[in-house]
Amino acid sequence: MTATSQRAAYYARVSSKQQAETETIASQVEALEERIRSDGLAAVGFRDDGYSGSTLIRPALEQLRDEVAAGNIDRLYVHSPDRLSRHFAQQVVLIDEFRQAGVEVVFLNRAIGRTPEDDLLLQMQGMMAEYERAKILERSRRGKRHAARAGSISVLGGAPYGYRYVSKHRGTGDARYEIDEEKAAVVRQVFRWVALERCSIGEVRRRLNARQIPSPTGQANWNRSTIGGLLNNPAYKGQAAFGKTQAGSRGPRLRPPRGQSSSPRRALVQRPTPASERVTIAVPALVSADVFAAVTEQMEENRKRSRVSLRGARYLLQGLVVCEACQYGFYGKFAKKSSPTARASTYYRCTGSDANRFDGQALCHNKQCRADALEAAVWQDACALLADPDRIGREHERRQRGTKASRGPSEQLGKRIEKTRTCIQRLIDAYGDGLLEKAEFDPRIRESRERLTRLEAEAQATAEQERDDAEFAAAFVQLETFAAQIRDGLADANWDTRRAILRTLIKKVELGKESIRIVYKVSPRPFDQGPNRGPLQDCPRGVSRRVMTFCTKPGGLRCSARRLGASLP
């Protein structure tokens, strides 16, 4: 394959959101594009802005691996191995995956070959880099903790609202907190409102907004969580805490937040540490310890007496319903009776349609939906899936029938590949023995090598498809087993059981002005279209027909419903 016929790509990544915003990744891309131009190639780019290298779940990297598996890339350019991953083992997995797909990996900081010595050198560099990174992190942690125990404020790195942080370079060798009198007066006023006037956080927020006092970030409106964090910060009584959070693994989540990728940018999240593990550092106090204790006691009392403190699961589809228009989540809302004889109802309402959340301007005009009708429609659809899971297998078999007919068995492909390799070796031997002239040898060896490339690509596609079929079969068996275990009790399932089943099966429910779409968690990917189904009786938007679509990416069996009739009351 000539250089001009090669299909090239490059991958670039930066870790922090700040690096992404300041276009730090541009220097990587510029160096990569310059090398690609010098090699006489044109390349497609894959960029992960602000994603950690400690995880392989990154949107651009996932797309790159899909393109490599599909055989669409011949050469991959990367600035350095740590751009692929920060962990040595993950680097080895990715490089081995690319090589098995026939992709040549080019690192700008050093060249790698195909000899065992090159692989050993690359692996040793990755191991040493990971070891050195872990050692630096541990030294930094121990050093900061020792400095905190010695009373050094520099380990805190910044100051809360009401203080100014003076670094050790500006503070004659010692970092310190200085009181910002203007902001400190706001802090003291907030503590007085709660301690003396027994105000709630909501009332404090209303008073601050009414006085047009800017928030700590300069916004016109204060956030409840900001006020709660301020009232719980022990620094205001003269005892700043070091080590209030620690990194931990992410827990499962129903769906990604609005506007964010399903792949998290960070593999770890910050979680609060126990109070016994924190180190206290003396700082100037803004309120007395008695006032701080009174505020803590009042907040606990407010929490107990709050009329809106009902927590936990109250709605069947809680956390699953998403607005199709603005992608904000729907929340459950209890509607008050308009008259003594009227019936009280619950609704699902789009968060984006609440004008009070967005400075008096609603972002979405999607109407609210009757909770009982929507829940009944979704439950009926899930029961239909569990009642006949074989239809997924039948559709899978129907769509694979034509593909299997056009694709030869893997054993036969292996024999043809071996035969072609033998032919190439014989041609080389014949040319070396002088039995063939160069004019006869060149076209024959070129044709044989092209045939070998086609056969290897076909064999790789066959192996990939067989692996997908095996994954689908395993997932299908799990679905059948799950359906068999709960099928008999579906009709008599209580509220908790129904909610557990729906959260197990459903990824999200997208609700639009004219449609409802249910995305199931059936993860195999070979489909893109599907058959029509019968009527959906109790849909709140008057849906009379649904179209099932099997998605082409992991994420599942999609079931969409289009409105063809009048809306229900």
At 161 the pLDDT is: 94
Neighbours of 358 (CB within 10 A): 13
Q: C-alpha distances in angstroms, 129 versus 50, 95, 123, 125?
A: 21, 17, 10, 6
> pLDDT tens for residues 482-502?
677 666 677 778 888 888 888
pLDDT at 522 exceeding the cut of 50: yes
Q: Count of residues for the chain?
A: 569
Between 112-116, 181-185, 380-384, 559-563, the lowest mean confidence (pLDDT) is in: 559-563
Kindly state the average pLDDT of the residues 51-74.
84
Kindly state the average pLDDT of the residues 298-320.
75
Displacement of CA 447 from its chain's centroid (Å): 46
At 395 the pLDDT is: 60
Q: Return the HEC string of 14-78.
A: ECCHHHHHCCCHHHHHHHHHHHHHHCCCCEEEEEEECCCCCCCCCHHHHHHHHHHHCCCCCEEEE
**Token pair recorded at residue 385:** 């899936």
> pLDDT tens for residues 424-467?
888 888 888 888 888 888 888 888 888 888 888 788 777 777 77
**Token pair recorded at residue 458:** 């076909």
63-91 burial string, b = 16+ CB within 10 Å, else e? ebbebbbebebbbbbbbebbbbbbbbebb
**Token pair recorded at residue 29:** 């891309």
Between 24-33, 128-137, 359-368, 439-448, the lowest mean confidence (pLDDT) is in: 128-137
Kindly state the average pLDDT of the residues 172-193.
90
Is the model more confident about 374 or about 308? 374
Kindly state the average pLDDT of the residues 350-356.
87
At 551 the pLDDT is: 35
Greatest mean pLDDT range, 69-83, 179-193, 496-510, 531-545: 179-193
Residues 299 and 233: their CA atoms lie apart, in Å, by 13
CB 456 within 8 A of CB 102: yes
- Amino acid code (one letter) for 276: S
Q: Which of 278, 188, 201 is nearest to 237 (CA)?
A: 188
Residues 181 and 80: their CA atoms lie apart, in Å, by 50
Is the model more confident about 239 or about 55? 239
Between 27-31, 120-124, 150-154, the lowest mean confidence (pLDDT) is in: 120-124
Mind giving me the DSSP string for 461-510?
HHHHHHHHHHHHHHHHHHHHHHHHHHGGGSTT--HHHHHHHHHHHEEEEE
Neighbours of 42 (CB within 10 A): 11
Residues 103 and 92: their CA atoms lie apart, in Å, by 14
Q: Which of 46, 102, 53, 52 is nearest to 78 (CA)?
A: 46
* Residue/partner pairs of 432-438 with CB below 8 Å, 24 or more apart: none
In this prediction, residue 194 has a pLDDT band, given cuts at 50, 70 and 90, of: very high
Angle formed by the axes of helices 438-486 and 371-387, nearest 10°: 120
pLDDT at 343 exceeding the cut of 70: no
Mind giving me the DSSP string for 304-362?
HH-TT---S--STTTTTEEETTT-PBEEEEEEPPSSTTSPPEEEEEEGGG-GGGTTT--
At 381 the pLDDT is: 86
Residues 209 and 226: their CA atoms lie apart, in Å, by 13
CB 221 within 8 A of CB 210: no
Give backbone dihedrals phi and psi of 9, rounded to 5 degrees, phi first: -150, 160
Helix, strand or coil, per DSSP, at residue 202 = helix
At 339 the pLDDT is: 62
In this prediction, residue 526 has a pLDDT band, given cuts at 50, 70 and 90, of: very low
At 482 the pLDDT is: 67
Kindly state the average pLDDT of the residues 355-374.
86
In this prediction, residue 170 has a pLDDT band, given cuts at 50, 70 and 90, of: confident
**Token pair recorded at residue 477:** 């068996």
> pLDDT tens for residues 2-22?
555 678 999 998 876 555 555
Between 162-171, 231-240, 398-407, the lowest mean confidence (pLDDT) is in: 398-407
What value does the mean pLDDT of the chain take?
A: 77
At 258 the pLDDT is: 73
At 538 the pLDDT is: 37
Q: Which residues contact 335 (CB under 8 A, 6 or more apart)?
A: 344, 345, 346, 347
At 533 the pLDDT is: 36
At 564 the pLDDT is: 25
